[in-house]
A and B are shown apart, each in its own frame.
Chain A
Amino acid sequence: MRFEIDVFNPSDYARGGPVTAPWQPIQRATGIGANAFQLLDGNGRGISAQIDRIDPADPSLDTLVFSLPSRVAPGPDDYSRASATVFLEAGSGPRPEVSPVPADSPARVELSSGALTVSLSLAPCQDDSGHDWFAGSAQSVRRGATEMLDVWRSLLGFVEHDPEKRCVQIDRLLLSQPPRAGLPDQEIHLHKSPYQLVSVCSGPIREGYTIMSAPFGYVYWDPSEGSRETLVCNFFRSVSLYRGSDCVVEELWLKGTAAGGDAESTNLSFSARYFANMNLGFDPVVYRFETVPDWFAVGYPDGDVHPGYGFATDAHARHLRHPHPGYPDARNAYRTFSWELHPSKRARCLHLFYLDGAVPVEHRAGHAWYEEIYKPLRIKIRGGRTHAGTTGL
């Protein structure tokens, strides 16, 4: 049996590219399994697709990812009218890949899109330096031979890169308490604790990893019991890189389970702080609109080399601190940046790595926010619910 899936383009211009949607609702509606389906366009041609098993312990996070073979027509921005239709059927066509769960957690993993290669540290330290504050950071982001985190030294080619360079690091979580609890917000420092690899996702559209922090305790006030309780928590990050893309996309969530009990886990609210140490030049320019706290960009518009970085999120970001306050190496503090997300139970974030593009970095970042975060392409099984472009956390 063939099922029709409507594709919704909320923009007033034709769009193509990748589409993501939670897989479980589709599976329930169609009865088609993740290992035996094919997606087809209107001419019966196969569409590249994959199923990402974000967290093997939680099938509700399984995600369908496919790439539209061509751009689809503009549509209303409220997703009220479909712009195209693709077809889903059981079959042995181009089989989506479900990667096995790794047996051992490595010290680092590498993502590559063809355009960008990102080396993500799971361990706090990658060498014998004793510098153990790199957990969860990308210590290298390369475009071809150029190290995007240390562009100037990379351009020279004869001096060593800054060993402190890193980005995409969440160094601290803030877990809040209800006002009547009389407890301070709890700070969790993540940069010195190893992450564990939870899953590997790889297919024709993107590759990614889900990593999980070491467990930590969260003491909270239970108003129903009138007592303090402790949850054992793990912070999760699902990091993806689409083929050909220069943007890293990630989803964040915090899972808590009652200590010592068999209770089901629950997603908790958190506020994550990002930290980066990347050389974007002396006195780079920050582009951020106070009224649109969902994205910002840092660029270097003057001179002959134009490195840049863009960030976008659906959780709102507070103002960018540059340099990061209290950074111990005052001479190089100008390379440091930090920013905090508003509290949320889930956050989808995008990191753009830019060098000398035809379009300025602030335009790229704003557009990436619009297409990837704010108004993604959506799909709906005909007669079913519309599915946003997230993992459905």
Chain B
Amino acid sequence: MPEQPVFENASHAVKLLNADEFIKKHRSEIFERLAGAEASVKGMGPEGNVVFVAECLPFVAAIVHVGSTLDKFREARDWVRGKLEHADAVSVLSALTFLYIVDKGLEFATQQNSAELPVWQSMRSRLESLLPASGSAGGSASALSAQSPAHISVATTLESVSAADSWPSANQSS
């Protein structure tokens, strides 16, 4: 199955940030934290998907700030601003990094046939349910956006990220 463009852009963002090595190095610590957030929203239904993302985004923002450097961050931020003029580029980079982490985590767990696999699958499913292009899990971010400031923030960010579907190919831009 071909990769969705949003995940391609996520991969490109992390490459620009030069944060992939940091993410790889701390894969188990990152999984532990995300799995904790995932476990805490089990049984919450679609509402849990937004809560999960809202819980994780500050942690992912910290990954961006520790795993990247000022120069690399500026490069990535300018790339986002070039594509999404009015979006909060810092939030978009965190969201793209989050997508990258979950995508790569799932890929790694699949290759290893790891016990982490169902957790990564669940996390990916939660993220995809909030991307407007999705629909498999019964609703986009905007459908949940009126519920709280956190919901609005998550919905706005993911909608911006999803607009990446209409971005030029990541490979053609930098």
- Chain A positions within 8 Å of B, measured between CB atoms, are 151-153, 155-159, 279, 281-283, 302-305, 331, 334
Give min CB distance, A174 to chain B, whole Å. 30
> What are 20 of the A-B contact pairs (CB < 8 Å)?
A155-B59, A156-B66, A157-B33, A158-B26, A281-B65, A282-B65, A282-B73, A282-B74, A282-B77, A283-B70, A283-B73, A283-B74, A302-B88, A302-B90, A303-B61, A303-B88, A303-B94, A304-B90, A304-B94, A331-B70
Give min CB distance, A144 to chain B, whole Å. 14
- Cross-interface CB contact of B70 among A151, A302, A305, A334, cutoff 8 Å: A334
Per the 8 Å Cβ criterion, residues 87-114 of B in contact with A are: 88-91, 94
B interface bracket (residues with beta carbon within 8 Å of A): 20 to 34
- Cross-interface CB contact of A152 among B29, B66, B70, cutoff 8 Å: B66
Q: How far is the CA of A359 from the CA of B69 in the complex (A)?
A: 29
Chain A, Cβ-Cβ closest to B69: A331
Chain A, Cβ-Cβ closest to B157: A304
Q: Is residue B153 contacting chain A, with contact meaning CB distance below 8 A?
A: yes
Q: Is residue B135 contacting chain A, with contact meaning CB distance below 8 A?
A: no
Q: Is B63 in contact with A156, judged by CB distance below 8 angstroms?
A: yes
Give min CB distance, B18 to chain A, whole Å. 13
Give min CB distance, B24 to chain A, whole Å. 14
Q: Which of A152, A159, A282, A305 has the most CB atoms of chain B within a 10 A radius of its CB?
A: A282
Give min CB distance, A145 to chain B, whole Å. 14
- Cross-interface CB contact of A304 among B29, B58, B68, B74, cutoff 8 Å: B58
Q: Is A279 in contact with B26, judged by CB distance below 8 angstroms?
A: no
Residues in B whose Cβ lies below 8 Å from that of A282? 65, 68, 70, 73-74, 77
Residues in B whose Cβ lies below 8 Å from that of A334? 70
* With A158-B26, A158-B29: A304-B70 Cβ-Cβ less than 8 Å: no
Give min CB distance, A336 to chain B, whole Å. 12
Q: Is residue B62 contacting chain A, with contact meaning CB distance below 8 A?
A: yes
Q: Is residue B57 contacting chain A, with contact meaning CB distance below 8 A?
A: yes
Q: How far is the CA of A155 from the CA of B55 in the complex (A)?
A: 12
Q: How far is the CA of A282 from the CA of B29 in the complex (A)?
A: 23
Chain A, Cβ-Cβ closest to B150: A304
Q: Is B65 in contact with A302, judged by CB distance below 8 angstroms?
A: no
Residues in B whose Cβ lies below 8 Å from that of A283? 70, 73-74
Residues in A whose Cβ lies below 8 Å from that of B65? 152, 279, 281-282
Chain A, Cβ-Cβ closest to B68: A282
Give min CB distance, A150 to chain B, whole Å. 9
Q: How far is the CA of A153 from the CA of B62 in the complex (A)?
A: 7
